[in-house]
Structure 1
């Protein structure tokens, strides 16, 4: 494993996680590469590949608005030679009823910024249903 690459991934994900925990939207946005690509799975209106920082952040903001998401915890950060993973638990509101879900976020890092993300949800069907309602 290339230690420099994995160190850069760990540093980038740790910086992003700290901003997320603090709720610092400006610092969160600063962690994304201008060429960021978001892979959002499922069948909801938000599903698809969203290219560019502006497009990806718009989808993430839309998800936050529809789900009233709240970070419960960042469970773990794991790093390999080419990717990093953040495991999170979030509380989402579905029809006014809060539900907690585990999410796996797989990241590629370039230039010490988040370059690509694949969002894997614990219960994709639940997420799709919630987003179609919201």
Structure 2
């Protein structure tokens, strides 16, 4: 994919998340996507396949949190032939608890879909504490 088409795809992908449309956001992932979530908490690790990532990461986060906000301060850091590096702002709440982070995401694309992604939170320890009792 060209750099321009990768940026356009990523823009549309994040627009879905910013409006809270998880189904539309999930649809951007290839069926055999591999997602690497940084850290050591209960959500860290590698997720193989769109359905697994949707159920085992997105579904668990959505069920655990009261609110989940994505975007508002997204910043493209690097665009290359191998992918796009982006900084995304995310906020989660659960009861009186709240965590806010900037998430670094590297996205690789093929045929108009995300085929691999790596994520790491700038406030990794705070995020892991927030989700610490997630089962």
Give me the TM-score of the superposition, normalised by structure 2.
Answer: 0.84
Q: Is 1:56 the counterpart of 2:59 in the alignment? A: no
Structure 1 residue 74, shift from structure 2 partner:
3.9
Structure 1 residue 103, shift from structure 2 partner:
1.0
For residues 29-51 of structure 1, the C-alpha deviation after alignment (integer angstroms, 9 at most, x for no partner) is 22111011110111112211110
Q: Is 1:20 the counterpart of 2:27 in the alignment? A: no
Give me the TM-score of the superposition, normalised by structure 1.
Answer: 0.85
For residues 45-67 of structure 1, the C-alpha deviation after alignment (integer angstroms, 9 at most, x for no partner) is 22111100001111122123334
Aligned residues: 131
3-state SS of the aligned residue for 1:38?
strand
- Unmatched 5+ stretches in structure 1: none
Please state which structure has a larger fraction of its residues in helix. 1
Moved over 4 A (4+): none
For residues 89-131 of structure 1, the C-alpha deviation after alignment (integer angstroms, 9 at most, x for no partner) is 1112266222321111110111110111111101111122222
Q: CA RMSD in A?
A: 1.9
Tell me, yes or no, if the aligned pair for 1:74 and 1:86 is still in contact at 8 Å.
no
Q: Is 1:113 the counterpart of 2:110 in the alignment? A: no
- Unmatched 5+ stretches in structure 2: none
Which structure 2 residues correspond to residues 43-122 of structure 1 after superposition, within 5 A? 43-58=40-55, 59-67=57-65, 68-78=67-77, 79-93=79-93, 96-122=96-122
- What does residue 31 of structure 2 align with? 34
